Every structure is written in C-alpha cells, then in structure tokens.
C-alpha cells in the first residue's frame, strides 16, 4: 500500500494517487484531518525497534513495513496537522496538545522512513515533509547551486519566518517554473537550468521542489510542496518507480502533455 498524505484540497495529491493506481500501484489518499481523527494510533519505540498501528474510520488500517497490512511507500505532502477545537480546554493546554500531535506524527513518519519504507517527502524535525527554511537559507542554497535569486529585504513586518514556501522578492515571477521530483526536472524553466535545479534539490535534501523564475532568470519563489501535475505522465512514472519499486522507464526529465 502507498499512502498519499496531504492537506485538505490538494489536487496534486489526488492526481498522484489516481496516476499511481493507473500504473498498477495500490495507493490511497489520507488527509491531515483524517489522521487527527484516527480511531487509534499505536506507535511503539523500544530496544526492539519501532512498530505502528494506524486505524482510521471506515475500516482503513495500516501497519509498519513488517506488519500484517504494511505501508510500502509514502508520498508525503503534509504541511501541518490541524488541531481539534477541544472546547473547554485552556489555551495553553490546546497549544500543548497541538505540539504533542505534531511530535507524534513526526515520530511515526520518521520511524517508517527508518524501517526502509519508500518515501517522497521525508519528515524532518523542522517540517513534516522536509526542512522548512528561512528565505535567507533558500537564497544561500540557490547561490551554492549556481542560481540567482530576486533581491528581498528583511523588515520588522517581515521577520523571515521558516516556511515551506516563500517569495524571494516582491511580485510573481513570469520567467518559467520547474518541479524537481526525485532528482528529475520537469516544467517550463530553460533546459540549461536543469542541472542547477537538481543540485539545489540535492543540497536541500528535498525529494520534491517547486521553483518559479522571474523574467531575468532569478528564483522568485521556492517551496517543498509543488504542483506535481507539472511533471505530467513522465513524473507519474518516476513516482511509481520510487514508491513501489515498479520499473521507472524513461527518466528524460521533460514533462509529458
């Protein structure tokens, strides 16, 4: 089973799950809200390793890699975990519950990755689907990959929080866009940028990366949860190979119609 984890209203996740099924993989979409409403989550960490039992409504149940209903692969597009309203609880208790839910989710995701479950969007302590960075960190990584970024300023009203996706400068870019998926580059960015974009994703340890360029060829926006539909049929083939072990086929890196 391949789990496609995502927030509500994520068309890329739905598209990916449908495509994986068409290519012969067993895949199901699980939203962050469904995870919060799980009937049972048993996550055990001891000297013998880690174990997971995840029971969701409607009879959906999965275990770790070696359990009776194993998860074989995960496409992880989680940006955050919503917290139930929990009426009657003081604000400080709600904040505590929120952090505990985030810690639990990060822990069991990390345990599956450690077991060898195939992952696209590996969890990180600074982000469910990879390390969220400050704009200054993204700019430094882009420079190391040989890519320029649009100038941006840090001001009191923009303190540069660590985010999944951020504009590196004012206004939207119009110089093309690209998606990096498992080291392969898709989209409308100039072909000569492909090597640099793949290097940027590698430096960021990012399985998926979305990049928008301005008219001068500088990065204007970057994020860990891109629109995977940009990768087209060729991207689905890469996804299937990475998550299920099925033949990957062509890895030309250019999106199919």
33 phi/psi in degrees, rounded to 5? -65, -40
Calpha distance 103→77 (Å, rounded): 17
Same domain, 11 and 85: yes
Residue 130 lies in a domain: no
Residue 10, pLDDT above cutoff 50: yes
Same structural domain for residues 150 and 220? yes
Same domain, 141 and 112: no
State the average pLDDT over residues 124-148: 91
pLDDT band at 245 (very low <50, low <70, confident <90, very high): low
What's the longest Cα–Cα distance across the chain? Answer: 57
End-to-end CA distance of the chain: 28
Note the pLDDT of residue 12: 95
pLDDT (0 to 100) of residue 6? 95
Is 226 within a domain?
yes
Which pLDDT score, from 0 to 100, does residue 173 have?
56
Q: Are residues 72 and 162 in the same domain?
A: no
Interior CA angle at 196 toward 80 and 145, to 5°?
Answer: 75
Taking residues 113-125, what's their average pLDDT? 89
The pLDDT value given to residue 250: 36
Residue 98 maps to a domain: yes
3-state secondary structure the chain: CEEEEECCCCHHHHHHHHHHHHCCCCEEEEEHHHHHCCCEEEEEEECCEEEEEEECCCCCEEECCCCCCECCEEEEECCCCCCCCCCCCCHHHHHHHHHHHHHHHHHHHHHHHHHCCEEECCCECCECCCCCECHHHHHHHHHHCCCCECCCCCECCECCCCECEEECCCCCCCCCEEEEECCEEEECCCHHHHHHHHHHHHHCCCCEEEEEECCCCCEEEEECCCCHHHHHHHHHHHHHHHHHCCCCCCCCCCCCC
Residue 190: pLDDT band with limits 50, 70, 90: confident
> Which structural domain range is residue 217 located in?
135-231+239-244
Residues 143, 177, single domain; the answer is yes
Residues 203 and 172 in one domain: yes
Residue of 43, 10, 13 lying closest to 28 (CA atoms): 13
Strand-pair partners of 74: 3, 119
116 and 140 belong to one structural domain: no
Predicted local distance difference test score (pLDDT) of residue 99: 87
Task: Give the end of a domain, one of 92, 120, 148.
Answer: 120
- Which pLDDT belongs to residue 256? 34
Question: In the prediction, which pLDDT does 174 show?
Answer: 72
Quote the mean pLDDT of the chain: 84
Say which range, 2-11, 51-60, 176-185, 232-241, has the weakest mean pLDDT. 51-60
**Which residue shows structure tokens 């119609």?**
257
- In sequence order, the β-bridge partners of residue 51 are 44
pLDDT score of 71: 87
Domain co-membership, 54 together with 82: yes
Q: Can you give the pLDDT at residue 136? A: 86
Name the nearest CA neighbour of 228 among 80, 82, 32, 17.
Answer: 17
Mean pLDDT, rounded, for 41-53 = 85
Bigger pLDDT: 135 vs 204: 204
pLDDT at 239: 93
Pick the last residue of a domain from 88, 120, 152. Answer: 120
Instruction: Give a yes or no: residue 158 inside a domain.
Output: yes
pTM attached to this predicted model: 0.85
Same domain, 158 and 98: no
What is the sign, positive or negative, of the torsion defined by CA atoms of 210, 214, 217, 218? negative
Query: Could you tell me if 101 and 26 lie in one domain?
Result: yes
**pLDDT (mean) for 216-240:** 92
Given 91, 120, 149, which residue is the final one in a domain? 120
Q: Is the pLDDT of residue 157 over 80?
A: no
Q: What is the pLDDT of residue 171?
A: 45
* pLDDT at residue 116 is higher than 70: yes
Number of domains within the chain: 2
**Residue 180 has what pLDDT?**
96
Question: Is residue 64 in some structural domain?
Answer: yes
Q: Report yes or no on 256 lying in a domain.
A: no
């Amino acid at each position: 089973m391949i789990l496609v984890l995502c927030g509500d209203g994520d068309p890329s996740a739905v598209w990916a799950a449908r495509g994986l099924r068409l290519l012969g993989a067993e895949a199901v979409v699980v939203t962050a809200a469904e995870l919060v409403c799980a009937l049972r989550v048993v996550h055990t960490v001891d000297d013998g390793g880690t174990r997971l039992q995840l029971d969701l409504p409607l009879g959906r149940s999965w275990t770790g890699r070696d359990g009776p209903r194993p998860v074989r692969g995960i496409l992880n597009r989680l940006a955050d975990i919503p917290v139930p309203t929990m009426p009657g609880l003081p604000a400080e208790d709600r904040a505590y519950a929120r952090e505990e839910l985030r810690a639990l989710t990060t822990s069991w995701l990390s345990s599956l990755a450690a077991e060898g479950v195939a992952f696209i969007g590996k969890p990180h302590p600074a982000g469910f689907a990879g390390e969220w960075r400050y704009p200054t960190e993204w700019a430094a990584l882009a420079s190391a990959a040989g890519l320029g970024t649009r100038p941006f300023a840090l001001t009191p009203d923009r303190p540069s929080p660590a985010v999944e996706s951020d504009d590196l400068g004012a206004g939207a870019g119009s110089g093309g866009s690209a998606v990096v998926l498992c080291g392969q580059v898709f989209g409308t960015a100039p072909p000569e940028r492909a090597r640099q974009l793949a290097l940027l994703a590698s430096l960021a340890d990012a399985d998926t990366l979305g990049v928008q360029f301005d008219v001068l060829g500088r990065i204007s926006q970057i994020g860990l949860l891109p629109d995977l539909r940009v990768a087209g049929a060729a991207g689905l083939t890469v996804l299937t190979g990475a998550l299920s072990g099925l033949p990957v086929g062509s890895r030309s890196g250019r999106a199919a119609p």
